[in-house]
């Protein structure tokens, strides 16, 4: 059976989302120390919002991803599950 790329994208997004949620829970619940430093630290790649203002139309474009270690692990787990299911 041939697997679709859309299913891969869905698996990766769900894995990243669940990992990100778990990382936020750990950030709040874990005591300050090594666990919180390793798992709850995140970086934000993206494009800061910018505005294109025409007289009739105004566009604001931008996006930002909040990625931590657990969201990356969730993405890789999603790829693993996609390949083996």
Distance, in Å, from the CA atom of 9 to the CA atom of 78, rounded to the nearest integer, reads 9
pTM: 0.76
For residue 76, give its domain range. 5-84
Tokens of 59: 């566009």
**φ, ψ (nearest 5 deg) of residue 68:** -120, 180
Spell 36-64 as b/e; 16+ CB within 10 A means b: eeebbebeeeeeeeeeeeeeeeeeeeeee
pLDDT in tens, 29-83: 877 878 777 777 778 888 888 898 888 999 899 988 888 889 999 999 999 999 9
pLDDT digits (tens, 9 = 90+) for 24-39: 888 888 778 787 777 7
Number of domains in the chain: 1
């Amino acid at each position: 059976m041939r697997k679709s790329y859309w299913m891969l994208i869905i698996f990766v997004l769900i894995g990243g989302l669940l990992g990100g949620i778990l990382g936020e829970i750990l950030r709040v619940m874990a005591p300050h120390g090594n666990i919180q430093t390793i798992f709850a630290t995140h970086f934000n790649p993206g494009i800061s919002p910018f505005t294109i203002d025409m007289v009739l139309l105004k566009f604001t474009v931008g996006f930002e991803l909040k990625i931590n270690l657990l969201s990356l692990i969730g993405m890789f787990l999603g790829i693993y599950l996609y390949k083996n299911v």
